[in-house]
Amino acid sequence: MRDDLGILFSVVLPCYREAGNLREVVDQICETLEAIPVKYELVVIDDGSPDMTWEAITQLAQDIPALRAAKLSRNFGKELALSAGLEMALGDAVIVMDADGQHPPSLLPTMIEKWREGGVDIIEAMKVDRGRESLFSKIGAGSFYFLWNRLSGFEMRGASDYKLLSRKAVDAYLSLDERNVFFRGMTAWIGFSRAHVPFEVPERRGGSSGWSVFKRVRLAVDGISGFSSLPLHLVTLSGVIFLIFSFIFGAYTLALQIAGRSVSGFATVILLLLLIGSFLMISLGIIGVYLARIYEEIKHRPRYLIAQKIGDASRPEAEDV
């Protein structure tokens, strides 16, 4: 179970309603890692699942001594479950993957091999094909990535949350202590040298995705507002455009008035009122998004709360060196 260098790999698995998938996915991961072979630990985070996920984890922990786990006190969302996992992980390299089988464990040897070659701190599995998704989700993801790339300046098309991070990268990630975390964006933000491994997204093993449309939209808004203040400047910019327009239109109206031919029609007034009204509301909304972010951060609440834990946090090599 150990390699020559005594390097420890941590595999972090955030789980939400994965009771039915976990055993098979974990077995596959263990099999793959033992075949390489490497020394590893599993860090499983139950993101407040309402089903039997925690029971499944408890059972797994009895069979796998290298498994440590935590149950969050409620559903905090995948991003925070990941943060909890990264904080718990003790490995020299940490691999983050989904617990639903959509991140194939067969990719682990390639990722580990690439990391061992040295020189890179982050190895990302890139989706060459997004798998079977609804049209809505494809269009949604497509337009989000387009906007995000433009606004934040980081390329993220095809990026997934299946990544290997070196200890250096994990520590850098954990040093960003905002409450509103966005794993994909923040791992891009921290920089470091990186390599890519392509993969095709297989079908979910069972159960259903824990991401509702609402959660996805919220992630998109958080993702954009967390990485760019451009929307705020756009409000100013559109204000300036309105101002120029109002000068031209004002001068035109005044000229007509002086010539004794005032602009006719109520329709123009109503249209202008509606236009300006909606514009103001949207602008307030945009400011509100940033204000809410400041409020969230300033409260300085803990990112997540842990209800239960399994396993002690000492590096497994301690006793068998």
Which is closer to ligand UDP, CB of 168 or CB of 204?
A: 204
CA atoms of 271 and 276, how far apart (whole Å): 9
Q: Which of residues 173-232 bind ligand UDP (CB under 6 A)?
A: 204, 209-211
Position among 8, 10, 12, 16 found at the interface with ligand UDP (CB under 6 A): 16
CA atoms of 248 and 244, how far apart (whole Å): 6
Of the candidates 36, 50, 40, the residue with the CA atom closest to the CA atom of residue 13: 40
CA atoms of 179 and 19, how far apart (whole Å): 28
The answer to the question of residue 75 lying near ligand UDP (CB under 6 A) is: yes
The answer to the question of residue 102 lying near ligand UDP (CB under 6 A) is: yes
| Helices and strands: H and E segment counts in the chain | 11, 8
147 within 8 A of 129, measured Cβ to Cβ: no
Question: Considering the complex, what minimum distance in angstroms separates the CB of residue 178 from ligand UDP?
Answer: 19
Contact partner at residue 81 from Mg ion, ligand UDP, none, CB < 5 to 8 Å by partner kind? ligand UDP
Q: Output the six-digit token pair for 102.
A: 């959509």
Query: For residue 264, what is the DSSP state?
Result: P
The answer to the question of residue 47 lying near Mg ion (CB under 5 A) is: no
CA atoms of 97 and 14, how far apart (whole Å): 8
The answer to the question of residue 14 lying near ligand UDP (CB under 6 A) is: yes
Which is closer to ligand UDP, CB of 140 or CB of 210?
A: 210
Of the candidates 309, 33, 58, the residue with the CA atom closest to the CA atom of residue 11: 33
| Residue 78 neighbours by CB distance under 10 Å | 21
- Provide CB contacts within 8 A for 302, sequence distance 6+: none
Position among 75, 102, 152, 166 found at the interface with Mg ion (CB under 5 A): 102
Quote the distance between the C-alpha of residue 106 and its chain's center: 23
Which is closer to ligand UDP, CB of 23 or CB of 204?
A: 204
The answer to the question of residue 18 lying near Mg ion (CB under 5 A) is: no
Question: Considering the complex, what minimum distance in angstroms separates the CB of residue 23 from ligand UDP?
Answer: 14
Question: Considering the complex, what minimum distance in angstroms separates the CB of residue 22 from ligand UDP?
Answer: 9
Q: Which of residues 239-258 bind ligand UDP (CB under 6 A)?
A: none
Burial degree of 263 (CB within 10 A; 0-12, 13-18, 19+): exposed
Which is closer to ligand UDP, CB of 7 or CB of 11?
A: 11
Type of residue found at 75: N
The answer to the question of residue 100 lying near Mg ion (CB under 5 A) is: yes
Question: Considering the complex, what minimum distance in angstroms separates the CB of residue 191 from Mg ion?
Answer: 27
Please name the residue that has the structure tokens 């989706």.
127
Contact partner at residue 222 from ligand UDP, Mg ion, none, CB < 5 to 8 Å by partner kind? none
The answer to the question of residue 158 lying near ligand UDP (CB under 6 A) is: no
- Span from 77-85, 118-126, 220-228, 276-284 in contact with ligand UDP (CB under 6 A): 77-85
Angle, vertex CA 41, rays to CA 62 and CA 44, nearest 5: 65
Residues that bind Mg ion (CB under 5 A): 100, 102
- Residues at the interface with ligand UDP (CB under 6 A): 14-16, 18, 47, 75, 77-78, 81, 98-100, 102, 204, 209-211
